Structure 1
């Protein structure tokens, strides 16, 4: 049995699901793109190739091996994108929560049956149909659960809005002892620089009390200010629009001291090292073309 345990974003990682890039199928048609960044690369003819993305994920796999982390991979589904394992489910405490994901992606969870079969069935939770949620929007942090969402009435018109207020309310019901804090994120179906697809595209806690943050990702200034005050101004590393676009906040913590980051994030990686972090640099620029990075491709199951 897998004894799930996730109460924050950074405690020492023991077991994780890492996505798979072996057989993503042909380049999608432009009208089938799920986000503006993928659309950009489809148009430009620079959409990532499977073999390049496999190499990138192998590099992350090697880092996990180095730190003695148990890694689970999905079963391969031919011609199907299985890279972003964070979207399809997430763990809070000892509960495995299945995300309500875009219909086209519903097969992804079935490819994890060998993991799910090892989890106590009473700990597996499915959200009601009308409560939309994806793991990239959900961050447990001690007494809090931070959730990215979109408050607007026009929610249904954004393919980039993945978590709604019904899901936020449902999460509060499931974890009454936690403070569920929601953040209204900036969405754009057409301009990747203006789109915070998930909360982890514009914010992520690191270490024991620091954070990476992109101010413009938040639609409500007070909510952004709340986070800055919560972590303390000096503990926040602010990223630019360009860095947000390149996914600088979407790194991944193996422990409070060790972070996996993209090797091109020069400014961020320099700052992290100046703060005493060990930075394991990997190439992940091809995967980034689909508007996701290290946090998106990993789903932690057990942290100390």
Structure 2
């Protein structure tokens, strides 16, 4: 079965990303503003290198983070699926843009029984769906579900700071709350045209799509808002240019600063409405979550967070329902 009811329903089957990244030979600095200064410096100093060659010790730690997360997920009966590794041909085809196979959340996403391939804005992520296609072919195709792809983004000049009109729609911007779907737009990832496409597609299935404009240093909506259970969220209010969506105004809030949001404080992973996974770096937040009677599991995800993503970013549910 393929179905995602909302962000905190019981997680039963999930895709967990691999740990592969190739530094671009010609980095676009305007697209790196969401990263820590140290990560930007690494990008500039290691142009064209594979991360595992530039930082072998960190590569091992990065891979171990995923293994530690798998152990926690399996403890709660979650089936974990892994994409394949990038092929040499795929790495070579990326050219000067670099390549990635590290955040399964963004190149595709699941809303209800709809599996949707997104349209990525960053040039090094345009082909990130390919390692996941084997899972789609073996798991999604046989199921009684909908499988579609967003329109391919137009090709523009590399020096175009906007990278064109898209459409761009990425899973990290998409939060599902039953028949309500929130989509972020900071100028770094999903854009207005991509959100309009998603709204048009989902309308006939009874979904309402609402855009949330975000601070320009926030990559995705899940870097500003995390739904922990019905009526409880972790949120960075300063990240919302027009305020928190009206339908969430009555929810109880665990507030984080813009600085905390940029290091992924909101990007934990609910296993269910009773269990939540976060990084020990956010124990202050974890303690507040635990005060609501929710069990908090801690996994060190520091290397993953250095790339600008955390637990939600590296996972994409195929079955999450109560």
TM-score normalized by the length of structure 1:
0.85
Structure 1 residues 215 and 32, CA gap change in structure 2 (3 angstroms): same
1:173 and 2:169 correspond? no
Q: CA deviation at 1:228?
A: 4.9
Whether 2:239 is the aligned partner of 1:217: answer yes
1:72 deviates by 0.7
- 1:32 deviates by 4.9
Q: SS in structure 2 opposite 1:248?
A: coil
| 43-52 or 90-99, which deviates more | 43-52
Which residue pairs with 1:296 in the alignment?
313
Q: Are residues 1:109 and 2:132 paired? A: no
Equivalent residues of 2:100, 2:124 under 8 A apart: no
Q: Which ranges of structure 1 fall in alignment gaps of 5 or more residues? A: 156-160, 188-194
Contact 2:212 2:245 in 1 (8 A): no
Unaligned runs of 5+ in 2: 92-98, 153-165
CA-based RMSD of the aligned residues comes to 2.2
Residue pair 1:15, 1:70 contacting (<8 A) in 2 also: yes
Quote the offset at 1:114 in angstroms. Answer: 2.4
Q: Distance in 2 between matches of 1:225 and 1:120?
A: 35
Once the two structures are TM-superposed, the CA of residue 226 in structure 1 deviates from its matched residue by 2.4
Q: Distance in 2 between matches of 1:41 and 1:116?
A: 32
- 8 Å contact 1:228–1:236 — kept in the other structure? no
How many equivalent pairs are there? 279
Distance of 1:83 and 1:120 partners within structure 2:
23
Going from structure 1 to structure 2, the CA distance change for 1:290 and 1:284 (only over 3 Å counts) comes to same
Misfit runs of 4+, over 4 Å: 27-30, 44-48
With structure 2 as the length reference, what TM-score do the two structures score? 0.80
Q: Deviations over 1:186-228 (max 9, x none)?
A: 11xxxxxxx11000011111112211110111112xx326255
Once the two structures are superposed, residues 233-278 of structure 1 have per-residue CA deviations (whole angstroms, 9 ceiling, x without a partner) of xx11110123212211000111011111101102101101111111
Q: How far apart are 1:143 and its partner, in Å?
A: 2.4
**1:71 deviation in Å?**
0.8
